[in-house]
Amino acid sequence: MVTGQRGRPRSFDRDAALDKAMTAFWERGYEATSISDLTALLGISAPSLYAAFGDKRKLFDEVVVVYGGRYGDFASVALAEEPTARAAVERILREAAEVYTDPAHPRGCMVISAAINTTSDEVAAALRDRRNANLEMFESRIRADVATGVLPADTDARALARYAGAVLQGMSQQSRDGASRGELEAVAARALLAWPPA
């Protein structure tokens, strides 16, 4: 009599599987990454994938959390650590140029690029909410500088936050189109020229 457990094998490495799934979603986006792509990459059957992660959407949600902790939190760290919003945005753009072009992983930002062409309103909304949360952090930090006199009283904090976000998102796409780290650093330096004087 043969005995054994159904589902994922004992050798299943959840962290390694999440890494592989993250690379797939990062390279191809949510929509273009199929269940068959994922099972082939992870080396497991579809039932094992569902047993381990639920479904494609739940797997993607978990991947987004892993991505944020490993590659996407540099903005919130800079906003918390730097003395001014300008210094934080300068650091964010500089670090983005490095992260977005690092050859150790796909180019750009997964949260920016993974929802392109998706037909899932839920996935698009979840990623949009994450991007908008970053803009709110930018705006809050800029408003704090206006309140303390670091920035002029007439500074449009919302517009300046959206400007910084637009540059960041543009840098992500430029990196996917082949821009080098140096080219993106030049974009970052040019973008900061629009920052209001203290």
Give the model confidence (pLDDT) of 27-81 as tens digits.
999 989 999 999 999 989 999 899 999 999 999 999 999 998 898 889 999 999 9
Rounded alpha-carbon distances, angstroms, from residue 63 to 24, 110, 137, 171, 175: 10, 10, 22, 22, 21
Section 109-120 average pLDDT: 83
* Cα distance between residue 187 and residue 167, in whole Å: 8
Overall average pLDDT of the 95-110 stretch: 95
pLDDT(164) > 50: yes
Residue pair 57/146 in contact by the 8 Å Cβ criterion: no
- List, in order, residues 6 or more apart from 9 with CB less than 8 Å away: 44, 48
Specify the pLDDT at position 13. 85
Residue 1 has pLDDT above 50, yes or no: no
> Of 14 and 161, which is predicted with more confidence?
161
- pLDDT value for 11: 59
What is the arithmetic mean of pLDDT over 113-134? 86
Torsion of CA 81, 84, 87, 92, to 10 degrees: 60
The pLDDT, as a whole number, for residue 6 is 53
Residue 13: CB atoms within 10 A of its CB come to: 11
Question: DSSP string spanning 104-164?
Answer: TS-SS-HHHHTTTT---HHHHHHHHHHHHHHHHHHHHHHHHHHHTTSS-TT--HHHHHHHH
Tell me how far apart the alpha carbons of residues 96 and 188 are, in angstroms, rounded to a whole number.
Answer: 9
The mean per-residue pLDDT over the stretch 137-153 comes to: 97
pLDDT, residue 2, reads 44
Alpha-carbon distance of 172 to 190, in angstroms, equals: 16
- Look at residue 3 and tell me whether its pLDDT is greater than 50: no
Asked whether residue 8 carries a pLDDT value surpassing 80, the answer given is no
